[in-house]
Chains A and B, each alone.
Chain A
């Protein structure tokens, strides 16, 4: 079984510590790297994708240092960056064929494999169109198709659902669970709903460090008995937001229904409710749970 070991890696940009002493061991399955913007997810993933050298620490695949493995490591790697571009004048076929060759497939393998991945991401009928005519969602799908060309044993996808509409996002999640199989999939996101069903484990990242690693169920334990719901007047809301981690706010007939994550009961009439992953996110990152932050992709 494949094993990826991240050994105490750090990355410093000039005076900025983007990743600090990150260690983890991953085996087959889907892992979600969850953290707010600026947590260091992209930097970590770039180091895993062998396009950025760590300032310190090592990354090992089955015990071999990837910086020594070189192209033998990248041979089993599939990587979809957070932000990427496509050649505007290329058709999807040309684009994928180019990357298939870069990934070491021979001519014959290239033809069949390009066909397969196009099918997989449902771009068959658009395969001969120039990429400049592609929509954001289609570009993402082509990006994932590119990552899958070499049938990677290690798949790294950085915020793959950013910029997708909700429907596309669901489709993408399904695609991901479909292809998960016997590989290591590392998926970063700051959107909780992305990971709810597919991730075997969640790695919580904040300010460059791994703060917790657990299954989604275990994650919920963090906020067990700490999620409250109550109804308040409109004018009490801002006061409440200052003092507590306030999640969902909903208008009700009797006032405003708020969801609060707090160790103690925030108000007398607050009642405990079943926690969700969004509450966990709120608990750790103390931020409004954004449904989608449009990242300036493509």
Chain B
């Protein structure tokens, strides 16, 4: 039964076409990494890689100043001002390293200031007890981060991690909805429902066979998409280096309070995204049962998942809408928002970290969803 349910899903040509189309998008080139292949970059990288000392940052500032003087001279001597300055790629590499190091230095200062500020809040009597508790919580998280920011080569990782909350999120969501919307609905449109439901296991086991086949589909889809992405990232940006450094070295996670290395985050994010994929799958299956219509299922689930994203894009930030966005399938599926900031919710007077609350809420929704699917399926009436 399970095998045939898988067969039904995996023989749909449109899924393969969509998948290939998405792979094509992923193959589109973005950026160049020629700078990182220069010897200047390599030697500077060897010199400065790691947490940065004040001397190193000063040195970067000095050298940048010199380089900019050189750029000014180049520009004065040049016949026309088109193109990139400095002219030589080696100098360009040096420029980009200096800027990164200086930026990292600023981030380090900012991070220390943030900790200082939190310490004040946590122990200052003017704050309410709850606010002090929250500040203390954040402070303690930050304490666990020991010199998190430095100079590292994170391009490949950064792009790979980014895939999860951008294209990966979109492609997975679309393919899950596309693949699973017909699972229950098509039995009706193909007029097979009455045959199935009148069999011994047609009201019970078959629902689970369909759920398991859907999980299989999601698993296969998830693994292939991410494996292909990793291969593409490597071919675009070179091999993975510096995965063992703190997550805060990725630009998007600079504010994250969590003590995770980049690869740990990647593994965690994959896990959460897989979980989110399964939950979206359950949502789609449920809609597939109650609408009995694949297209309708497609649009309703698209709306449920897409609306919060749209709100965010539109910059709507009323409290209610913000909460709606925070507790949406899309946000869970993108993972990034769970980790990139310190957010707590007050639950029974206690601060609870947003990612824990979000995952707990969705685990509850998912279990409810399974029950609803089973109940709806069992009690369906066939009238046409």
Interface residues of A (CB under 8 A from B): 13, 46, 49-53, 70-71, 74-75, 77, 79, 81, 83-90, 94, 97-99, 101-104, 143, 146, 150
The reply to whether the CB of B202 lies closer than 8 angstroms to some CB of chain A is: yes
Residue in A81, A89, A103 whose beta carbon sits within 8 Å of that of B201 in the complex: A103
Having A71-B201, A79-B195, A86-B192, one finds 15 other A-B pairs with CB under 8 Å, namely A51-B381, A74-B202, A75-B200, A79-B198, A84-B192, A84-B194, A87-B190, A88-B190, A89-B11, A90-B4, A97-B4, A102-B1, A102-B200, A103-B199, A150-B200
Q: B194, A98: Cβ atoms under 8 Å?
A: no
Q: A81, B383: Cβ atoms under 8 Å?
A: no
Write the chain A residue with the least CB distance to B197. Answer: A51
Query: Given that A46-B383, A101-B1, A102-B206 are known contacts, is A51 also in contact with B198, CB under 8 Å in the complex?
Result: yes
Q: Which residues of B sit under 8 angstroms from A51, Cβ to Cβ?
A: 193-194, 197-198, 381-382
Q: Which range contains the number of B residues in contact with the other chain?
A: 20 to 34
Q: B201, A102: Cβ atoms under 8 Å?
A: yes
Sorted nearest first, the 9 A-B pairs with minimum C-beta distance are: A85-B191, A102-B199, A51-B382, A79-B198, A98-B4, A85-B190, A101-B1, A49-B198, A81-B194
Write the chain B residue with the least CB distance to A146. Answer: B195
Shortest CB-to-CB span from B187 to chain A, Å, is 9
Write the chain B residue with the least CB distance to A70. Answer: B203
Q: Which residues of B sit under 8 angstroms from A89, Cβ to Cβ?
A: 11
Q: B195, A99: Cβ atoms under 8 Å?
A: yes
Residue in A13, A71, A87, A97 whose beta carbon sits within 8 Å of that of B383 in the complex: A13
Q: B382, A83: Cβ atoms under 8 Å?
A: no
Shortest CB-to-CB span from B78 to chain A, Å, is 66
Q: Which of B352-384 contact A (CB under 8 A)?
A: 381-383
The reply to whether the CB of B261 lies closer than 8 angstroms to some CB of chain A is: no
Q: Which residues of B sit under 8 angstroms from A70, Cβ to Cβ?
A: 203
Q: A102, B194: Cβ atoms under 8 Å?
A: no
Q: Which residues of A sit under 8 angstroms from B8, Cβ to Cβ?
A: 87
Query: Given that A46-B383, A102-B206 are known contacts, is A83 also in contact with B1, CB under 8 Å in the complex?
Result: no
Complex CA gap A86/B61 in Å reads 73
Q: Which residues of A sit under 8 angstroms from B290, Cβ to Cβ?
A: none
Residue in A13, A81, A102 whose beta carbon sits within 8 Å of that of B202 in the complex: A102
Write the chain B residue with the least CB distance to A97. Answer: B4
Complex CA gap A83/B201 in Å reads 21
Q: A49, B194: Cβ atoms under 8 Å?
A: yes
Q: B11, A46: Cβ atoms under 8 Å?
A: no
Give 1 or 0 for each of B2-22: 1 = CB within 8 Å of chain A CB: 001001100100000000000
The reply to whether the CB of B196 lies closer than 8 angstroms to some CB of chain A is: yes
Q: A104, B381: Cβ atoms under 8 Å?
A: no
The reply to whether the CB of B204 lies closer than 8 angstroms to some CB of chain A is: yes
Shortest CB-to-CB span from B290 to chain A, Å, is 17
Write the chain B residue with the least CB distance to A50. Answer: B198
Write the chain B residue with the least CB distance to A71. Answer: B200
Query: Given that A52-B381, A52-B383, A97-B4 are known contacts, is A103 also in contact with B200, CB under 8 Å in the complex?
Result: yes
From B11, B195, B199, name the one whose CB has the most chain A CB atoms within 10 angstroms.
B199
Write the chain A residue with the least CB distance to B13. Answer: A89
